[in-house]
């Protein structure tokens, strides 16, 4: 009897969860479907779901209109570069805070997070001026630097929480067994730190990929990433649903695929080690 009840409950849970899941996912699904329709089918009333003639003409039109490869490449360089640079700066900092904590460690961490509270718009013009003077406005270098600094507090926090989870006893045991400092770092600490670093890299890559304020305001033709590519479709001439959908699909596909493949690492990374 009890078993029947749980089976029934499982069925209800499944139906409910799938219903809500599909509802949340629907805008993405609808965008992808629409990207394969003709413009006329895209705005048909009543809407057409699957029974239409699939076409690739929108993708061709988007490719003709703008150089997708260049935007994509800019996105990869900017998101990748800022993440790598951020990791290089943050790993030693988080490492020393986790393993040689002092009375001020907590204050420094909170101060770092508070720099994220500095509204970007409040410092937009100074950054703009500095960039003009340095000649790095509308350059990938400039955006790499800004996005690195913007995400640095988050990187340090995440790494710090991961490193803190590495138990000190393991280190001591390795030392008792006569491991040198080099061996200790190479064979004991690194393998334990890699998963945390991987989640951090992933989350920051996604944040940098989707960041729109700085990329829209500091780039024009040269360094514009996919956020700018898609924003050009907000003008009236871009108001074609099927083409807009194709461009949207092209902008989100790379990161969506990356996100899905790595969702396990992301889940642990997103929680800042604080949810146990």
| Contacting another protein within 124-183 (CB under 8 A) | 124-127, 129-130, 149, 152-153, 156, 168
Stretch that binds another protein, among 22-30, 57-65, 134-142, 183-191 (CB under 8 A): 22-30
216 binds another protein (CB under 8 A): yes
In whole angstroms, give the CA distance from residue 207 to residue 200. Answer: 11
Least distance from another protein to the Cβ atom of residue 188, Å: 15
Decide if 62 contacts 250 (C-beta within 8 A).
yes
Among 116, 139, 166, 198, binds another protein (CB under 8 A): 116
Name which of 54 and 272 has its Cβ closer to another protein. 272
For residue 55, what is the enclosing H or E element? none
> Is residue 9 near another protein by the rule CB under 8 A?
yes
Which DSSP category does 6 fall into?
A: H
φ, ψ of residue 140 in degrees (nearest 5): -65, -35
- The nearer residue to another protein, 197 or 244, going by C-beta atoms, is 244
Q: In angstroms, how far is the first alpha carbon of the chain from the final one?
A: 35
**Cβ proximity to another protein, 66 vs 96, nearer residue:** 96
Q: How many residues lie near another protein (CB under 8 A)?
A: 96
Min CB(164)–another protein separation in Å:
9
Contact pick of 8, 67, 102, 222 for another protein (by CB under 8 A): 102
d(CA 62, CA 245): 10
Site for another protein in 24-43 (CB under 8 A): 24-25, 27-28, 30-31, 34, 43
- Residue nearer to another protein on the CB measure, 105 or 139: 105
What is the distance between the alpha carbons of residues 208 and 79, in angstroms, rounded to a whole number?
5
CB of 64 to another protein, least distance (A): 20
Stretch that binds another protein, among 20-28, 54-62, 66-74, 187-195 (CB under 8 A): 20-28
Dihedral pair phi/psi, residue 202, rounded to 5°: -60, -50
67 binds another protein (CB under 8 A): no
Tell which positions 187-206 bind another protein, by CB under 8 A: 206
Q: For the beta carbon of residue 46, count every other beta carbon within 10 angstroms.
A: 5
Q: What is the DSSP letter of 123?
A: G
Locate tokens 């400092």: which residue? 181
In whole angstroms, the minimum distance from the beta carbon of 157 to another protein comes to 9
User: Which token pair is 27?
Assistant: 């805008």
Residue 57: CB minimum distance to another protein, A:
18
Rounded-to-integer distance, Cα 86 and Cα 272, Å: 17
Long-range pairs for 52-60: beta carbons < 8 A, 24 or more residues apart = 58/242, 58/243, 58/245, 58/246, 59/35, 59/246, 59/250
Which range in 133-141, 182-190, 193-201, 231-239 contacts another protein by CB under 8 A?
A: 231-239
Gap between the Cα atoms of 93 and 82, Å rounded: 17
Nearest distance in Å: CB 76, another protein:
14
Is position 80 an interface residue for another protein (rule: CB under 8 A)?
A: no
3-state secondary structure of 251: helix
């Amino acid at each position: 009897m009890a078993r029947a009840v749980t089976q029934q409950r499982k069925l209800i849970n499944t139906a409910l969860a799938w219903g809500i899941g599909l509802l949340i996912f629907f805008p993405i699904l609808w965008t992808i479907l629409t990207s394969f329709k003709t413009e006329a089918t895209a705005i048909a009333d009543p809407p057409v779901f699957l029974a239409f003639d699939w076409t690739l003409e929108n993708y061709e039109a988007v490719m003709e209109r703008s150089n997708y490869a260049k935007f994509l490449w800019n996105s990869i360089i900017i998101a990748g570069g800022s993440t790598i640079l951020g990791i290089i700066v943050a790993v030693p900092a988080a490492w020393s805070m986790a393993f040689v904590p002092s009375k001020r460690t907590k204050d420094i961490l909170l101060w770092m997070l508070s720099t994220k509270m500095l509204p970007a718009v409040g410092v937009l013009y100074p950054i703009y001026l500095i960039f003009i003077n340095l000649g790095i406005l509308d350059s990938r270098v400039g955006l790499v630097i800004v996005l690195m600094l913007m995400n640095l507090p988050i990187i340090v926090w995440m790494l710090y929480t991961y490193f803190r989870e590495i138990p000190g006893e393991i280190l001591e045991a390795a030392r008792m067994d006569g491991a040198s400092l080099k061996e200790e770092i190479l064979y004991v600490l690194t393998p334990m730190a890699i998963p945390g670093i991987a989640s951090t890299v992933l989350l920051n890559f996604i944040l940098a990929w989707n960041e729109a304020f700085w990329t829209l305001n500091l780039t024009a033709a040269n360094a514009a990433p996919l956020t700018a590519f898609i924003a050009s479709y907000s003008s009236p001439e871009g108001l074609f649903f099927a083409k807009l959908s194709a461009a949207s699909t092209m902008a989100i596909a790379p990161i969506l695929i990356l996100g899905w493949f790595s969702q396990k690492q992301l889940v642990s990374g997103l929680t800042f080690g604080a949810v146990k």
